[in-house]
Structure formats: structure tokens, C-alpha cells
Amino acid sequence: MSDAATGPDMPQRAKPRLRGWFNRLIARPSFQAWASHFPLTRGLARREGAEIFDLVSGFVQSQVLMAIVELRVLHRLMDGPRSAAGLARDAGMMPERMEILLQAASALGLIRRQRDGRFALVRKGAALLGVPGLEAMILHHRAFYRDMEDPVALLCGEVDTELADFWPYVFGARGDVDPKVTRTYSDLMADSQALVAQDTLRMVDLSDVRCLMDVGGGSGAFALAVAQAYPRLDLMVFDLPDVVPGALARFEAAGQGGRLSVHGGSFRSDSLAYGADAISLIRVLYDHSDDTVRSLLSKIFDSLPPGGRLIVSEPMSGGAVPERAGDVYFAFYTMAMRTGKTRSSAEIARLCTQAGFIQCKAPAPLRPFVTSVVTCAKPL
Ligand SMILES: C[S@@+](CC[C@H](N)C(=O)[O-])C[C@H]1O[C@@H](n2cnc3c(N)ncnc32)[C@H](O)[C@@H]1O
């Protein structure tokens, strides 16, 4: 959990002059030309070249994926292989253009070009359809990519981002948000919640908990997953007043209505409900500034009994060991939302400790692109 400068960076820091000389050598086109032919270096040079080209072309790959999802190509291949001409007819597109798209999707491993020239669904493409909410998330990326169009302007804070409008609650909106907007983001969150709940519940044991309150629990998807995994545990959901009725409806539809109480309010201006011996914050902290997080953690500390537990689960930065999901995708997504930021487990643990919590732990994440977890406890 330490953010200290250890690990792979050490030799670089220990011998900066040598490293500088080496980097200048590698950056010379003549050295690159030599390295790509010399038998001992050409494997590495080609591999690195391919990795660099992957970075260069990443946006195009994402846009190919967007077209595949928008045109429902994977769904259309579910019943068997299809020709480019047939799929082009469905999409109202010229066959040659559809052929280009399908060839690209094959290169990305989502589908396969057969010997007879038709295209078939393969495992990766089918798996994509099996991830709840992923297609909706990909389509919603249009707004994110528009915000990312000028990344330097975004970094300088000069972009009036669309994501900030899509997630209006983070500005503390209350009562003045169109219920349709509220529902759209709650649905998107609930759809993508299944994987987050799966990984969180694999990393955290709640068998000694009597009542869990999910703060920022949205429409109750995580709370219901907990209810189903722990049949004797009672649940509370605290969220904005417009949002909590969705949680009650979800529990009632699952025949679990009697196990949930909902509490509408804003954790920015209201105190939290009492009665839970554990509180979860699932994908909540990264939406908010350090000041809001400090105030929320202190409210949580107050509402828990001695020995009560806090579970934080959300995508996190790799901290001292940067990693792709947390430090590339989520770091820029939260920047585009404008109010929060992606934090490392060490930063979250530090904020929890400042609020009075002890025994902060960060189990090794199963899938960092889905979620990471920090747990801690209120002293006895
Ligand atoms: C990113 S969503 C996560 C929802 C859910 N925990 C999940 O993982 O699917 C953040 C949640 O925090 C809630 N939230 C944001 N600001 C809030 C506030 N000031 N008071 C209460 N809830 C808030 C939102 O309504 C939303 O349900």
C-alpha cells in the first residue's frame, strides 16, 4: 500500500546520469534502425515497436469497437456467420465499408474471418456481450471522447465537460435534476455493478456483519448482491432522495423488500443514518474532492459503533506502481467529471486514518479494471 519510491523505478533513480545517456541513445533513429536488425535486440525492438503502435492507434481501435456496438454486429452474428454484404444491408451501408469494419473487428479479435469470406463471432466478442452494461458504457463514451478531444485543454481545466452534465449529482444537485437523467446514470451504474459486487464480495468477508449501510448505494444493486450472499444480514441504502426509491423497488422485485430500509439525503449536507455495524462506499469516493471525502469519512466514523467496519470499493490508481485502468482510463474519466479523482489504496487508507479509522487493509485486487478494495475499522 506504500506510495514510496520503491520497486522498478529504483535503478533509474540510483543512476540518473547513466539512465539519461541510455535514453538519449535509444531515442536516436540510427540506434533504433540498428537495434531492429541486430540479432540480440531485434525481438525486443519489434515488440516495443508494436506496443508503441498500439498506443498510437488506441483511439481508432476504440472507435472501431464503438461502430461494432452501435451497429449491433456481435448480436447479429449470434445465430451464425454472416457475409459483409448481408450485414451491410442491415446497417444501410456500402458493402465495401462494412468489409473494412469487419476486417478491423477481426484484427481486434472480436470476430473471425472464415475461409468462405463470412464473419463469425468468437469468444472475446461473445464475452463482451456477456458483461452487463458494457455496451451501454461503450456508447456513452461518445461524451467522454468529446471531452478528451483536446487533452491538454482538459488538463488545463479549460473544457466545459459533457461528463459533468451526465453525472450532475456530484455537484450536490438535489431536487433540480431531471428524473430521466437520474435514472439513466443509475441504470448505467446498476448494470455495471454486477462485476464490482462479485469482486468486492470475493475480497471482503461480511459474515460477522449484522447490518450493512451502502452509502451512495444508488438503486441498490450492490446492497441486493450482499443480501443474496448473506441471507441473515439487514441492509440500508443511503443516497439522494430521488435515487433511493429505485433501491426499494429493486429489493421488492427480488422479494427482499423486508430486509431493506432506505434513507434519502445528501452526505454533503445531512448526517447519515445510524444502526449499521458496517458501511460500504462503492464507486463513491472517486467522484468527490478530498474535502468532501474527508467530511464524508468523518460522518461515517460518527455513525458507526466501536468496532464498526468501512469497506471502500472502486477502481484505484496503482500509486507507486501505475497501472492502465486506474491511472489512464479512470484518472481521465474522473478528471472529465471535474469534481473527483482516482486515488491509490494508500491515499484512501491515509484519508480513512485521518478520519480515525484503524487497521486499513488493501487486499490484492482480482481485476483492477473492475475494482480495488480498502477496508478499515473504527477502534473499539
Ligand atoms: C458512481 S455512483 C455509484 C452507485 C453505486 N454505489 C454503484 O457502485 O453502482 C455514485 C452514487 O453516489 C450518489 N451520491 C452522489 N452524491 C451524493 C450525495 N451528496 N449524497 C448522497 N448520495 C450521493 C449518487 O446518487 C450515486 O448513486
Cα separation, 18 vs 16, whole angstroms: 6
227 alpha carbon to ligand 1 midpoint, in Å? 19
Look up residue 40 and give its three cell numbers: 540480440
Q: What is the DSSP string of 296-348?
A: HHHHHHHHSPTT-EEEEEE--B-TTS--HIIIIIIHHHHHHHSS----BHHHH
Cα separation, 91 vs 71, whole angstroms: 6
Q: Which of 240, 296, 313 to mutate to test the pocket of ligand 1 (most atoms within 8 A of CB)?
A: 240
26 alpha carbon to ligand 1 midpoint, in Å? 47
In the chain, the domains with their CATH numbers are 12-56 (no CATH), 58-129 (1.10.10.10), 164-377 (3.40.50.150)
Please say whether the beta carbons of 96 and 57 come within 8 A: no
Cα separation, 160 vs 167, whole angstroms: 13
Cα separation, 113 vs 87, whole angstroms: 14
261 alpha carbon to ligand 1 midpoint, in Å? 17
User: In the prediction, which pLDDT does 327 show?
Assistant: 97
Q: How many CB atoms lie within 10 A of CB 67?
A: 16
User: In the prediction, which pLDDT does 176 show?
Assistant: 54
User: In the prediction, which pLDDT does 173 show?
Assistant: 45
User: In the prediction, which pLDDT does 179 show?
Assistant: 62
> Angle at CA 228, nearest 5°, toward 224 and 230?
110
SS3 1: coil
User: In the prediction, which pLDDT does 177 show?
Assistant: 54
Pocket around ligand 1 at a 6 A CB cut-off:
169, 172, 189-190, 193, 196, 216-218, 221-222, 239-240, 243, 266-268, 282-284, 287
User: In the prediction, which pLDDT does 154 show?
Assistant: 96
User: In the prediction, which pLDDT does 250 show?
Assistant: 95
User: Quick one: which atom of ligand 1 is closest to the CA of 243?
Assistant: 25
The rounded average pLDDT for each run of 10 residues, N- to C-terminus, in the chain (380 residues) is: 44 72 85 85 87 94 97 96 97 97 98 97 95 89 94 95 73 53 69 90 97 96 96 96 93 94 95 96 96 97 98 97 95 92 97 98 95 97
